[in-house]
Chain A
Amino acid sequence: MIRPGIRRLFHLGSRRHDLVARDTADEIASHIEERAARLEAQGWEPTAAKAEARRRFGPLAEAERELTRAALRRERRLGLRDRLDAIAQDFRYAWRTTAAEPVFAALVVVVVALGVGANAATFGILDRLLLRGPDHVREPRELGRVYATMNVPGRGPFTGSSFGYVCYAALRDHAGAFSGVGAYTRPNETTLGSGERAEQVLQADATWDLFPTLGVRPALGRFFGREEDRPGAAARVVVLGDALWRRRFDADPGVLGRTLSLDGTTYTVIGVAPRGFTGAELRRVDAWLPMSVRGQRVADDWQTTIYAQWLRIVVRRQPGISAERAGIEATAAIRPVFAGTEELLATGDVSVRPIGFNGAGDEAMEAKVARWLDAVALVVLLVACANVANMLLARAVRRRREVAVRVALGITGARLVRLLLAQSVVLAGLGGAAALAVVPFASRLLRATLLPDVDWSGPAVDGRTLVVALALTLGAGVLTGLAPALIARRGDVLGALRSGVREGGGRSSRLRTALTVAQAAFSVVLLVAAGLFLESLRQARTVDLGIEPERILTVGASWPRAERDLLVAPAVSPRDRSRTFYATALERALELPWVESAAIAVGTPFNTSFAVQLSVPGWTELPDLAGGGPYIQAVSPRYFETVGLRRLAGRDFAAGDRGGSAPVAIVNQTMAATLWPGRQALGACLVIGDPATKPPCAPVVGIVEDAHRDSLEEPPAMQYYIPLGQEQGFGGSRLLVRPRPPAATMVEPLRRRMRGVDPSALWVSVDTLQESLDPEIRPWRLGATLIGVCGGLALLIAAVGLYSLVAHMVTSRAHELGVRVALGARRADVLALVLRRGLGLAALGVASGVAIALATGERMRDMLFHTSPRDPLVYLAVVGSLLVAATLACIVPARRALRVDPATALRDE
């Protein structure tokens, strides 16, 4: 007997209000009639019996109305419960069938997990970079960074985000458009403590109103206020970042009121910022100091000068003020600052842009990469979905008989679709759960490689990521289940019952073919993208920078700064102290057996470059090269062999070339060719320094090849070198060391050696020069590895899909193949038959993939380095690897086809 509930389920659809009402009326009527009949049987008059039955029932009209209402409520409620019951039943059934095919289920789960996992991991990054912004910032959409754009004659517009305090003050006092204005410096490495416990921390300066402007509240204590940030009367107070507070102070709430030393100056702790607070940008900050305490370090007239620009400014727009309007207001506020002095700035435009933009006012490269990654992850998910749909289709075909039996037994189409959907949702759900187990690792890895500077103190998987993962999982479940379900629903019941599985349904096999082709196409697109990034990376790696950053270690040192209000002069002048340190450090380094060479330089590539006044006899004005310059460096002997620059002519500096000796100079190739074209540069004269002081002529004694100063790509510039000690008007040494072993492995040994050189130094840093270059190469390395991994995944998934399709074809056509063999087909013919089908599909996919890649590749152009988006080698490699994978995927089922025994195939009939 069928449960009443189930029966109701199928009838309820048509049972509307009047039906329920009629049933209720029927029930009442039959009650009254039967009651009357019984009374009559007891000897009542027929009319009296009827009246009595009515009387006993109660007030009829009212009862009927109320009962109908109750019945309707009951039906609604029961209908809902039955539907829920049925859905639960579907899922129980789906679970049973899934568990019955564990290998199939495992395959699907892995594929879905990869797709969903890749998306969840990349979403976390995209969310932070593009959607959510920095933590603890109230209404980030109202906030904006201030940018200035000026039109440099001959160079075009230039946009920057560095301002002086005077600009901040002008904006702050310009009432109206802004509800808050704050200025800050980017976090700098600063030495905390001294001696053994000394460490480098990231410290930023902020005006007091930065915190209210961002809308952040301290986790402990307070932020500094207006009085503590008053220029000229600032308090030596510090607000700690959460990470430093936990690491250095064990999260002790008693830290308030304690003092600590930063760069040799003592500050009192007044507060701790909330966990993950990084100001308006995303880089970690360990210590916040009042701007007015630190301004003196920039310049004596730091409050009023227009020439020192070291701040970034954020504003909060008043409600209803657009970014355009805010820009106009800001322009009006800032232009007068420069009026009459700097015409370029006085006529420049000030704009207010999103706080996530980079220093040049564009969307950050990382954000672009993250956006790409998200798109790529989505493609992987689509490939995964196509694959799962394919597998489900194959299974649906395998189970045609079961489905047909169900249809024959009277299951409705809607119920069948629901049943099949439940199965794919169960599978996708398992995949989603598996993905969540992997996502924390994946996203940690991703964050560390994509954005190592960003403060990632939050959890690896937060609520938003979870919601996205859930939505993607459900979407994948429905998407993959829908096609097989709809096909099963339309399936020709009788045909399936009669014929069994041998003939795969025409519709479903066409769809499977299309899905397989789509997978191949998508993997081609991904692999092409990965290949282009890889080629960019290779190009970036092989750029001849002149110098060899991967071979060089730089050593720098810092000492406690002499306080400006300190009346007693220090025993040793800072200049002498530094000179002694580097001289000793150079000696000690050269004593090490693994050091190939070492030198001291003022002005280090990828670090600092200097330019001083220079005149050359024969030139009234030096030519202006696109790369700027001429740039000057002061270097000790053996500098060129240390950094790996080839000497083209003349000599190196010798021990005798130093401060006080006769001035000499070495120029680079470009300078020699520009200033003395076609002539001998050696012996030519450079007049270095202010001509008013009549500096002596420095003869050129050598020519070296060009070196990059700043980035991977830069136009040639004039560079010249003078002996260390002869520099005038610039300073700040570094020791450069060229070890024999790989530089990265020698950082610690060298640091240990260097620490003992001067006990009074606060901190001695040892870095590879390559580190300064890494942020430039990172986008390509990232793109190459991550998109490469995704592309590999997609390829693997597509190969599995192709394999299962061809295998299915072989199984379902075993009979036909057997007949062919029986009729005398050779093995090669059978093999060719199978391969033709599989490789034909693959070729179709590859062709469409190449077409898509060619059509969309142009969008990648500005992300590539010295690589055309149509690089033929990349395309060739991708097409080749795809065809190889496709052949491998076909060979296994093809060999199986060869083993088909004609006798068995014929007997089977």
Chain B
Amino acid sequence: MTAIPLMKGTLDLLVLKALSWTPMHGLEITSWLEQRSGGELSFDDSGVYQALYRMEERGLIEAEWGVSDNNRRARYYRATKKGRAHLDAETRQLVRYGELVTGILTATAKA
């Protein structure tokens, strides 16, 4: 089975979800996403950084230089209050959307 390409805009949300647990650096986020999707989502690692920079600019996350577990300089990201609110709202909307679309597509014809 081949991996599914990401729908536009969902990567931001997934990254934000990852950061809602704990501050992480880029690779940690990437690994978290791979684990969670069981490798079924296909994306370039650079896409994660694009998402991070974009969201930082919008004030959804903050960043700070730190040292990784392997003693490397790494940029640690963390969701802001605004980011969490954004995640909640977007998640609710996406779930509703998914249910609706699924409902329509899987409906059996009725007489």
- Asked if A and B bind, the verdict is yes
Which residues of A does B touch, CB under 8 Å? 4-5, 23, 26-28, 30-31, 33-35, 37-38, 56-59, 63, 66-67, 70-71, 73-74, 77-78, 81
Name the one of B45, B53, B64, B72 contacting A30, with C-beta atoms under 8 angstroms: B72
Binary A-proximity of B21-63 (CB < 8 A = 1, otherwise 0): 0000111001100000000000011110110011011010011
Of B25, B26, B30, B45, which is in contact with the most chain A CB atoms at under 10 Å from its CB? B45
Q: Which residues of A contact B30 (CB under 8 A)?
A: 31, 35
Beyond A30-B74, A34-B70, A78-B57: 19 further Cβ-contacts under 8 Å? A4-B62, A4-B64, A5-B62, A23-B75, A28-B49, A30-B73, A33-B72, A34-B27, A35-B45, A38-B27, A58-B47, A63-B46, A67-B46, A67-B53, A70-B50, A70-B54, A71-B53, A73-B57, A74-B56
Closest residue on chain A to residue B54 by CB atoms: A70
Name the one of A37, A58, A66, A73 contacting B45, with C-beta atoms under 8 angstroms: A58
Q: Which residues of B contact A71 (CB under 8 A)?
A: 53
Q: Which residues of A contact B10 (CB under 8 A)?
A: none
Name the one of A31, A58, A66, A73 contacting B27, with C-beta atoms under 8 angstroms: A31
Q: Which residues of A contact B25 (CB under 8 A)?
A: 31
A119 to B56, alpha carbons, bound, how many Å?
Answer: 48
A73 to B59, alpha carbons, bound, how many Å?
Answer: 13
Q: Are B75 and A27 in contact (CB under 8 A)?
A: yes
**How many pairs of A and B residues are in contact by the CB < 8 Å rule?**
69
Q: How far is the CB of B2 from chain A (nearest CB, A)?
A: 16
A66 to B47, alpha carbons, bound, how many Å?
Answer: 10
Q: Which residues of A contact B46 (CB under 8 A)?
A: 28, 57-59, 63, 66-67
Q: Are B44 and A56 in contact (CB under 8 A)?
A: yes
Q: How far is the CB of A604 from chain B (nearest CB, A)?
A: 81
Q: Which residues of B contact A27 (CB under 8 A)?
A: 26, 49, 74-75
Q: Which residues of A contact B27 (CB under 8 A)?
A: 31, 34-35, 38
A712 to B56, alpha carbons, bound, how many Å?
Answer: 79
A66-B50 contact in complex given A30-B68, A30-B74, A33-B72, C-beta closer than 8 Å: yes
Q: Are B44 and A70 in contact (CB under 8 A)?
A: no
Q: Are B53 and A4 in contact (CB under 8 A)?
A: no
Q: How far is the CB of A54 from chain B (nearest CB, A)?
A: 10
Q: Are A58 and B44 in contact (CB under 8 A)?
A: yes
Closest residue on chain A to residue B53 by CB atoms: A70
**B residues contacting the other copy or chain, number (CB 8 A):** 25
Name the one of B54, B64, B73 contacting A26, with C-beta atoms under 8 angstroms: B73
A67 to B51, alpha carbons, bound, how many Å?
Answer: 10
A877 to B57, alpha carbons, bound, how many Å?
Answer: 68
Q: Which residues of A contact B74 (CB under 8 A)?
A: 27, 30, 34
Closest residue on chain A to residue B34 by CB atoms: A56
A71 to B62, alpha carbons, bound, how many Å?
Answer: 13
Q: How far is the CB of B62 from chain A (nearest CB, A)?
A: 5
A461 to B25, alpha carbons, bound, how many Å?
Answer: 58
Q: Which residues of A contact B64 (CB under 8 A)?
A: 4
Which residues of B does A touch, CB under 8 Å? 25-27, 30-31, 44-47, 49-50, 53-54, 56-57, 59, 62-64, 68, 70, 72-75
Q: Are B53 and A74 in contact (CB under 8 A)?
A: yes
Q: Are B70 and A77 in contact (CB under 8 A)?
A: no
Q: Which residues of A contact B68 (CB under 8 A)?
A: 30, 34
Q: How far is the CB of B68 from chain A (nearest CB, A)?
A: 7
Closest residue on chain B to residue A1 by CB atoms: B64
A67 to B75, alpha carbons, bound, how many Å?
Answer: 14
Q: Are A67 and B50 in contact (CB under 8 A)?
A: yes
Q: How far is the CB of B43 from chain A (nearest CB, A)?
A: 9
A57 to B44, alpha carbons, bound, how many Å?
Answer: 5
A70 to B46, alpha carbons, bound, how many Å?
Answer: 12
Name the one of A34, A35, A67 contacting B49, with C-beta atoms under 8 angstroms: A67
Q: Which residues of A contact B59 (CB under 8 A)?
A: 81
A37-B50 contact in complex given A31-B45, A78-B56, C-beta closer than 8 Å: no
Q: How far is the CB of A66 from chain B (nearest CB, A)?
A: 7
Q: How far is the CB of A711 from chain B (nearest CB, A)?
A: 74
A38 to B68, alpha carbons, bound, how many Å?
Answer: 13
A849 to B4, alpha carbons, bound, how many Å?
Answer: 86
Q: Which residues of B contact A73 (CB under 8 A)?
A: 53, 57
Could you list 16 A-B pairs, sorted by A, with CB under 8 Å? A5-B62, A26-B73, A27-B26, A28-B46, A31-B45, A31-B49, A34-B68, A34-B70, A34-B74, A35-B27, A57-B45, A57-B46, A58-B44, A58-B47, A59-B44, A67-B46
A33 to B56, alpha carbons, bound, how many Å?
Answer: 24
Closest residue on chain A to residue B44 by CB atoms: A58
Q: How far is the CB of B95 from chain A (nearest CB, A)?
A: 29
Q: Which residues of A contact B47 (CB under 8 A)?
A: 58
Q: Which residues of A contact B62 (CB under 8 A)?
A: 4-5
A617 to B74, alpha carbons, bound, how many Å?
Answer: 121
Q: Are A77 and B26 in contact (CB under 8 A)?
A: no
Q: How far is the CB of B46 from chain A (nearest CB, A)?
A: 4
Q: Lowest 7 A-B CB distances belong to which pairs?
A: A58-B44, A63-B46, A74-B57, A70-B53, A58-B46, A57-B45, A4-B64
Closest residue on chain A to residue B74 by CB atoms: A30
Q: Are B72 and A34 in contact (CB under 8 A)?
A: yes
A78 to B61, alpha carbons, bound, how many Å?
Answer: 12
Q: Which residues of B contact A35 (CB under 8 A)?
A: 27, 30, 45
A67 to B26, alpha carbons, bound, how many Å?
Answer: 13
Q: How far is the CB of B82 from chain A (nearest CB, A)?
A: 12
Closest residue on chain A to residue B26 by CB atoms: A31
Q: How far is the CB of A454 from chain B (nearest CB, A)?
A: 55
A73 to B56, alpha carbons, bound, how many Å?
Answer: 10
Closest residue on chain B to residue A73 by CB atoms: B57
Q: Which residues of A contact B44 (CB under 8 A)?
A: 56-59, 63
Q: Which residues of B contact A78 (CB under 8 A)?
A: 56-57
Closest residue on chain B to residue A35 by CB atoms: B27
Q: How far is the CB of A331 from chain B (nearest CB, A)?
A: 70
Q: Which residues of B contact A77 (CB under 8 A)?
A: 57
A59 to B46, alpha carbons, bound, how many Å?
Answer: 8
Q: How far is the CB of B12 from chain A (nearest CB, A)?
A: 13
Of A5, A70, A81, which is in contact with the most chain B CB atoms at under 10 Å from its CB? A70
A827 to B50, alpha carbons, bound, how many Å?
Answer: 80
Q: Which residues of B contact A66 (CB under 8 A)?
A: 46, 50
A276 to B45, alpha carbons, bound, how many Å?
Answer: 70
